[in-house]
Structure 1
Amino acid sequence: MGEVVGITAATIILGFSTLWVTVVMFALAYAFGYALTVGPLMQEGVSLPTAARDAFYSETPSITVMEVTAIGTDLLLAGGARWTEPLFWTALFFSLTVGFAAAYPVNALLIGFGVKEGMGSPAEMDGRAGGGRTKGGEAGSD
């Protein structure tokens, strides 16, 4: 989400150079990634400083891998393309897919090491932090 907003704002609206488009995309990817973690934690009653620290530790590795991979792929494929060219949007879509694929194992490792929690099925959630799941991944019982 941050990348799409960043590339749209920096390229189409502001007309930035490739370097500044990259900086804006990177910054907004982190901002959106952290916000999507901090918000739900605060809804669960976690304080802002604690939620921000948790987001930093749990999201930074995967966001970094995704952004380096996605932006690198995008620059490699369409670094000079204009936003009016199909190559621009096709490369963006492809690069986000590559970034997601690169970040997936990082997220799996972070979940495996207990740094972040996996997402449970909404039907199985009972309102407790962690989606009503135990460390073993099975739904908790009352």
Structure 2
Amino acid sequence: MDQHTAHGAHHGAHHDMGNLGTNAMAISATLHCLTGCAIGEVLGLMVGTALGLGNLATIAIAVGLAFVFGYALSTLPLLRAGLGVGAALTVVLAADTLSIATMEVVDNLVMAIIPGAMDAGLVNPVFWLSMMLALTVAFFAAWPVNRYLLARGKGHALTHGFHGAEPVGARRFIPDLATSALVAAIVAFMLGGLVVSVADELEAPPETGHAASAAR
């Protein structure tokens, strides 16, 4: 193998590793944003549903809480690293706003178009299944956004120098422990809600003929 060929092979391998690292970091960054959004979304939709609010009011609460929790989860590590509140918020607003906004648009759009999802009660399996689907679609919608930003040194790349994160690389495929724990907790919570709602459906007494006729 001549020198030119060897250099080309090395460059190609480095390029592939760079793409792998960017893809991995985009997954980690998207999971990080999804964690905050999921907490806010679930809490907001639970509040709106429990209070019997209309769809617009419920969505407004869910979106507001999603941004609050999304920003908060990114701000705390920067505060621990020694940044002031103002400086930390400035970095987080620049890093996370587009990703969170993308997730919120997609997530709420999916919830809005699924028949009965927004009107389902907290003990209705439709609510929890729709939420799981909406968050999954939102993840895949936000991932390319985060990848685009990271490839250009923007998005979550802006926060790495402040809390000691590694440079973009393949080893960053696994999200940090705190984010992984929060994701696991959210998944467990939603699965728990689904189980409870299914159990409630199964335990509900069957409609009598008279009641069924009256309902019709």
Q: TM-score, normalised by structure 2?
A: 0.55
Shift of 1:47: 1.0
1:125 is matched with none
1:6 aligns with 2:72: no
Task: Report the counterpart of residue 164 of structure 2 in structure 1.
Answer: 130
The residue aligned with 2:122 is 83
Hey, what does 2:131 align to over in structure 1? 92
Q: Where does the alignment leave 5 or more consecutive residues of structure 1 unmatched? A: 121-127
Distance 1:64 1:130 in 2: 26
Match of residue 157 from structure 2: 117
Corresponding residue of 2:191: none
In structure 2, runs of 5+ residues without a counterpart are 1-38, 172-216
RMSD: 2.3
Identical-pair percentage? 33
CA distance in 2, matches of 1:107, 1:60: 11
State the Cα distance separating 1:17 from its structure 2 match: 1.1
Letter in 2 for 1:8: M
The 5 Å alignment of 1:1-142 reads 1-12=39-50, 14-77=51-114, 78-115=117-154, 116-117=156-157, 129-131=163-165, 133-134=166-167, 137=169
Q: What is the rounded CA distance, in whole Å, between the counterparts of 1:138 and 1:87 in structure 2?
A: 38
Q: Which amino acid aligns with 1:85?
A: N
Change over 3 Å in CA distance of 1:22–1:101 after alignment to 2: same
SS at match of 1:117: helix
Q: Is the 8 A contact 1:7 1:24 kept in 2?
A: yes
Q: Deviations over 1:68-90 (max 9, x none)?
A: 00110011002443333221211
The alignment of Structure 1 onto Structure 2 pairs a total of residues equal to 129
- Residues 95, 159 of structure 2: 8 Å contact kept: no
Q: Contact (CA 8 Å) 2:67, 2:100: kept in 1 or not?
A: yes
